[in-house]
Structure 1
Amino acid sequence: MSALSKAQRTKGDVFYQEAESTLKKSTWLASSTEQKYENAAESFVKAATAYKVGGCSDEAGAAYRRAADLYKDKLKSLGEASKCLSDAGACLKKSNPAEAVGCYRSAVTLLCDAGRLNQAAKLSKEIAEIFESDGASADEGEDGGTAIAAAIASYQQAAELFEMEQAKSQASSCLQKVAELSSGALDPPELLRAAEIYEGLGRQCLDSNLLKYNAKTHFLNGILCHLANGDSIGASQALARFDSLDYTFADSREGKFARQLVECVEGFDPEGFATACFEYDRISKLDPWKTSLLVKVKRSIEDSTGGGGGVEDDIDLT
């Protein structure tokens, strides 16, 4: 530990003890009692700041939580309490993800009660990112699959809160994560849910001159979800809907690729499917999510025809 860290930790200890001593003081008047709690809360915040500067994240998180309890339960200041809980979560998310999630969730509840939905949405997204990146470590006793489900639920909550605040771009970003995780990381996957989300995102894009060109990507993703779900009829019906919604879709690279995939699945043509993927990848690099779904679809065709090989053998992903 550096000299600066030691000095800041010592400073933090002093402020923390000062806060504890303040709380033990006897008071008779309501005004003096309130002042006592305010002074103690401020000292806990000062302790947390010193600990944070000194790199003592667990101690900083604990001090922020003590301050939050005072602001919420004794001083009835939801704004200050939510800020302290948010700061505690920020301190703890690397060293103790599970504790960070607990702090963030408490802050989200307080922010929603106070009508500060945009801030609540940002913290819900933060919770989702912790579950997505840390998996089981983000919630003690939960396996990876449950952590992914928790991430999806938090992204969904964030999207709904952003939507209430008319923050459509942030809401769409969170919904994309819901669709991506539901179809690619959840076991078993919820491909139909993802397909519906992608279609909804595509329709929203068509309402904006700035975003309308993004609709094609969402529509293609929706069709991939239908195909990966073993529903070529649903994919074909979606393709017809998208052609009618967006007159440029049929002649676009995404639209042509989607049509080739549907035709190959309906015609039980694994070689044609692989060729279509290869040609598309030459111009528009397929990301891991698309590739994983395409592999699944190709294997389903091969299972039906008794063929061999795989999409991953035909596309260079390096």
Structure 2
Amino acid sequence: MDHSAKEKEAIALVAEADKKIKSPQGFLGTLFGNSSRAEEACEMYVRAANMFKMAKNWSAAGGAFCKAARLYCQVDNKLNGAVSYIDAGNAYKKSDPEEAVKCLSHAIEIYTDMGRFTIAAKHHITIAEIYESEMLDIEKAVEQYEQAAEYYKMEESTSSGNKCLLKVATYTAQLEQYHKAIEIYEQIGTYAMDSTLLKYGAKDHFFKAALCHFCVDMLNAKLAVQRYEGMFPAFSDSRECKLLKKLLDAHDEQNVDAYTDAIKEFDTITRLDQWQTTMLLRIKKTIQDEESDLR
């Protein structure tokens, strides 16, 4: 494919569309006197944007989609405006993450005004992922996941909302905001234990909540484990619960070797993920610190 030919064609189309809406009678007069002209210009911008995409010129594609989006909104075609902002955001994702976030945010505004909260939530997740992978701003990603969760809950999409909240819990625990993470893990664990389909996952949520408690202090962790066993008897039999009890004992005895052995033994059967490993290392450090304090 000849990229430069596509690009030239796209540039010419954008210029033609610009001309169409900047006719002698003045922009607004033309627009509202002849909205079909504006619609034609929008279609040209979109066609140009797609050609830029074929030429892999992501910034120009984003720019052309944006022109279409703004024009659609001016002639009150909100839905097409939102779609064009999403297309702009997806193009900019490859070249300019900040612009991508702006475009997706414009689309979200339109969707929430229209009461379409599920689709707004989906785009909040896209923004969260941009913050996670492109901009490495975890706190902003957390805000986006929280907003998405809120919209999903409003629309009774509990499981989609919970997926977003689990992301929030993962990150807030990493940021050492343990109380917030505990609240989410306990809430989702309680929700899961009452569901036939989700029951199996409940132990993981309680396990993670207990590890967060442990990072705050040991007494909290001990009481939490007892509480989870009372609420959800199946938790008592789980390997996770048995591991927690061994870790609590090792912590009690200030025995780093027993602590490490318990984790190794668990890990040979059930692989610990990166997050769990991080939390367990933080807890281990508290034993080591306390040990050196005693010397």
TM-superposed deviation, 1:26: 4.0
- Secondary structure of the corresponding residue to residue 271 of structure 2: coil
Q: Distance in 2 between matches of 1:302 and 1:61?
A: 53
TM-score, length of structure 2 as denominator length: 0.93
- Secondary structure of the corresponding residue to residue 80 of structure 1: helix
Letter in 1 for 2:145: Y
TM-score, length of structure 1 as denominator length: 0.87
Query: Which stretches in structure 1 are left out of the alignment for 5+ residues?
Result: 136-143, 308-318
Q: Distance in 2 between matches of 1:66 and 1:301?
A: 59
Aligned match of 1:259 = 245
Alignment RMSD (CA, Å): 1.7
TM-superposed deviation, 1:43: 1.3
Deviation above 3 Å: which 4+ runs of structure 1? Answer: 26-32
Structure 1 residue 57 and structure 2 residue 58: aligned? yes
TM-superposed deviation, 1:108: 1.1
TM-superposed deviation, 1:31: 5.8
Aligned match of 1:99 = 99
Q: Distance in 1 between matches of 2:181 and 2:94?
A: 30
Structure 1 residue 221 and structure 2 residue 208: aligned? yes
Q: Distance in 1 between matches of 2:145 and 2:170?
A: 11
Aligned match of 1:312 = none
Letter in 2 for 1:224: L
Aligned match of 1:39 = 40
Query: Cα–Cα, structure 1 residues 31 and 113, in superposed 2: closer, same or farther, change >3 Å?
Result: closer
Letter in 2 for 1:110: I
Letter in 1 for 2:169: A
Letter in 2 for 1:261: L
Question: Which of 125, 137, 162 is the equivalent residue of 1:172?
Answer: 162
Q: Distance in 2 between matches of 1:134 and 1:213?
A: 34
Aligned match of 2:266 = 280
Query: Cα–Cα, structure 1 residues 303 and 7, in superposed 2: closer, same or farther, change >3 Å?
Result: same
* 8 A Cα contact 1:180 1:194, kept in partner: yes
Aligned match of 2:12 = 14
Query: Cα–Cα, structure 1 residues 30 and 133, in superposed 2: closer, same or farther, change >3 Å?
Result: closer
The 5 Å alignment of 1:106-185 reads: 106-135=106-135, 147-184=137-174
Query: Which stretches in structure 2 are left out of the alignment for 5+ residues?
Result: none
Aligned match of 1:209 = 196
Q: Distance in 1 between matches of 2:272 and 2:4?
A: 50
Percent identity, aligned pairs only?
34
- The superposition leaves residues 37-68 of structure 1 with CA deviations (integer Å, 9 ceiling, x where unpaired) of 22221211111111112211100100111111
Letter in 2 for 1:258: L
* 8 A Cα contact 1:79 1:114, kept in partner: no
**Number of residue pairs aligned between Structure 1 and Structure 2:** 290
Query: Cα–Cα, structure 1 residues 7 and 226, in superposed 2: closer, same or farther, change >3 Å?
Result: same
Structure 1 residue 295 and structure 2 residue 285: aligned? no
